[in-house]
Amino acid sequence: MSEDNIVTIGGEAIVLPPILNFASLKRAWPAIRASGIATDSTDRVAADISVIAAVLLPTRPDLTAPEIEKRLRINRFDGSDERPGIMDAVTRLMIVSGLVSQGELEALADQAPAAPRAPAAQTATTEA
């Protein structure tokens, strides 16, 4: 038995169920497609939020995409940025649901947008 696929949204740990039937896949497919073609991390997180909302619909209908967006923490400076966890959880979801293999993901890793991270320190300049 595999471990639960847990994602943190607004500080709450939520178990993502695998996609087990065509109805769930059809509901999530537009967002899965959008995630796969995202060219930056913001677009990917937005698509992945929609994937999560689609798979949670039967068990957590309160967690719509707009609601997840409101709850999702993004503060990179205090360690509460939940965006990388969103992307990781959807990647695990694709694997545990049998939609992609680990090998396929590794082959695509160079094409994926980078996870959000803290910006480089900026140097202050002053003008005389």
The predicted pLDDT at position 118 comes to 47
The predicted pLDDT at position 123 comes to 41
pLDDT surpassing 80 at residue 105: no
> pTM to 2 decimals?
0.80
Mean pLDDT of the chain: 86
The predicted pLDDT at position 115 comes to 57
pLDDT surpassing 60 at residue 112: no
pLDDT surpassing 60 at residue 99: yes
Q: Choose among 20, 8, 33: nearest CA to 96.
A: 20
